Structures are given as C-alpha cells and as structure tokens.
Chains A and B, each alone.
Chain A
Amino acid sequence: MTVSELAEKMELEVFCLGDPEHGIDSAYCGDLLSWVMGRAEMDNVWFTIMSNQNVAAVAVMTDLSCIVLTEGVKPDEQLLERAKTEGLNLLGTSLSTYRAAAAFAKLEDSPE
C-alpha cells in the first residue's frame, strides 16, 4: 500500500503529500520522540498527537513513510513548513490513535 492509497482508504486529511507513492510497511504509535526513534521501523506509518517540527525531524531520521496526526490535531506552522521543505507526507484524522491504528491494521490484513 502506498501513502496516497492509505490517505484515500482511511479518508485522511492531507496537510502535505511530498512523497505520495512511498510504500508502507506496518505502523508505530507514540508521542515520546526518542521512543519512536528507537522503536519505529523504516517505512512505518506513524500515529501521533505531537504536532511540533521535531516530529518532522524524527520522521526524516527514521525514514518513516508518513506521519498521521490523530485526535483531530493540526500541525503547527513550523511543522507544516518543515514537512513541505523535506517533502514529507503529513496527514490527519479525527480518530483516536487507537481507532486509527485499528483501522490501519484492518486495511493491512485485507487483500488488495
């Protein structure tokens, strides 16, 4: 699944889609940046409520496929700016982190 397919299937709000064809491999949920740095894996979707620009740095450093802000959280101005300059995928949903991750898991399991 690509990030643009994920955005469509989960009806995510698009803040920035710098790399829509980026392939997705599993996901990680977390708000403590070092925890995400240590545990998230390459090409993961990252579900988080953190919305400052350090989120972009973590996504770049760990080669994540996209950031999904949950709970209706909007990116702050600097995060949006950073995501654009770094060509990141920054999306949003009104679902809780749990609901969003559960919906993603369902998509992951369903045949294409």
Chain B
Amino acid sequence: MQDIVFRSEVDGNDYQRAGEASRHTKSALKRLGLPPEIIRRVGVCMYEGEINMVIHADGGTATLTVGIDKIVIELKDHGPGIPDIDLAMQEGWSTANTEAQTLGFGAGMGLPNMKRSSDEFKIDTVVGEGTTVTMTIYIK
C-alpha cells in the first residue's frame, strides 16, 4: 500500500475557526477505517499543533502521512520559534495572549498533550525562523 498524504494550510489569523484542518483530517481517517483510539490520538496531536500554529506562529502547514504501520504528523511554521524547549514542554507554561485565553486556549498543556498522545515526538525550532513538530503514532 502506498502512503496516503493529507496536507493543509493553517490560517494564522482566524482564532475562531482554528481546528478546521484537524477536523477534516479526522473525518478522512474515519473513512479509512482506522481504529478509533488511533484516530483520537491523531486528533489530539494535530489539533493542539494546529492551535499552536494559530496562536503562537501565524499559521503554517500540517502534513499527515498514513502508512501501513504508522501515522506521521508534521506541523511546520515560520513563526518566532521556541527559545527554551524544556520550559515550553512544562505543563502550565504558556505565552498565550489574552485573546487566546478568552477562547479557552493557553493552558500550557498543548505540547505535553501532544507528547503524551504520540509514540514519537520531536521539536525542531530556530528562533526567528520557525518550528517543526513531528509526531509519530504507530498503528498496531
């Protein structure tokens, strides 16, 4: 079987509609008939990543690759980058602004959630250039 690739551009200006890409991807995965628990984990990873691209990085590109034994989610942005990854990974640490907070974002739980919901989790970031978060979920 060939890998199936879904790519979506995430609009960095629309806080209200953030999550669109994740929702489309989730319905696509359902149509592929993947196990519900796998789809749920992909959904959590992708949604948190998408929200981060919207509230911290002015948008980016989400790419999801479905292979025979794994799903790889790549979230790439050209935002400000993350100066201190260890700090960013701490539960509760957030630089989200009040607009994001009013909408219920900015709990500082996104990156920890993504790490917990994936089997492999990697952040590549350069301050001033951007961030790429790559997550792998194995299909058992």
Known: A37-B44, A37-B48, A37-B113. A32 touches B18 (CB 8 A): no
Does B103 lie within 8 Å of A54, measured CB to CB? yes
- Output the nearest chain B residue to A49 by Cβ-Cβ distance: B104
Q: At the interface, yes or no: B79 with Cβ under 8 Å from chain A?
A: no
Q: Which residues of chain A are near B110, meaning CB under 8 Å?
A: 34, 37
The interface on chain B, measured as residues whose beta carbon lies within 8 A of the other chain's beta carbons, has a size of: 26
Total CB contacts across the A-B interface at under 8 A: 73
Tell me how far the C-beta of B42 lies from the nearest C-beta in chain A, rounded to whole angstroms.
9
Q: Which residues of chain B are near A58, meaning CB under 8 Å?
A: 47
> Which A-B residue pairs are the 8 nearest by beta carbons?
A57-B19, A34-B109, A32-B107, A61-B43, A38-B113, A33-B104, A34-B107, A61-B47
Q: What are 14 A-B pairs with beta-carbon distances under 8 A?
A: A32-B107, A33-B107, A37-B48, A37-B109, A38-B44, A38-B109, A38-B112, A42-B40, A52-B104, A54-B103, A55-B104, A57-B47, A61-B23, A61-B43
